[in-house]
Amino acid sequence: METVSTSKVFGGVTHTVRHDSAECGCPMQVAVYLPPQAKDGPVPVVYWLSGLTCTEENFTAKAGAQRYAAELGLALVAPDTSPRGLNLPGEDDDWDFGTGAGFYVNATEEPWTKNYRMYEYVTAELPALIEANFPVDPARKSVSGHSMGGHGALIVALKNPGAYRSVSAFSPIVAPTQCPWGEKALGGYLGSDRANWSDWDATELVKKGGNRIPLLVDQGDADNFLAEQLKPELLQAACEAADHPLTLRMQPGYDHSYFFIASFIGDHLRYHADALAA
Q: Please tell me the distance from the alpha carbon of residue 168 to that of residue 140, in angstroms, as a whole number.
A: 15
Contact criterion met (CB below 8 Å) for 157 and 212 = no
**82-87: long-range contacts (C-beta < 8 A, 24 or more apart)?**
82/24, 82/116, 82/118, 83/21, 83/24, 83/25, 83/26, 83/28, 83/115, 83/116, 84/26, 84/28, 85/26, 86/25, 86/26, 86/115
Q: Which of 223, 244, 268, 272 is catalytic?
A: 223
Q: Which of 21, 142, 144, 147 is catalytic?
A: 147
Q: Which of 146, 151, 244, 256 is catalytic?
A: 256
**Helix or strand (DSSP H, E) at 241:** helix 232-242
Residue 147 appears among annotated catalytic residues: yes
Angle between helices 65-72 and 258-277 (to 10 degrees): 10
Residue 243 appears among annotated catalytic residues: no
Handedness of CA 248, 249, 251, 256 (dihedral sign): negative
Q: Which residues are catalytic?
A: 147, 223, 256
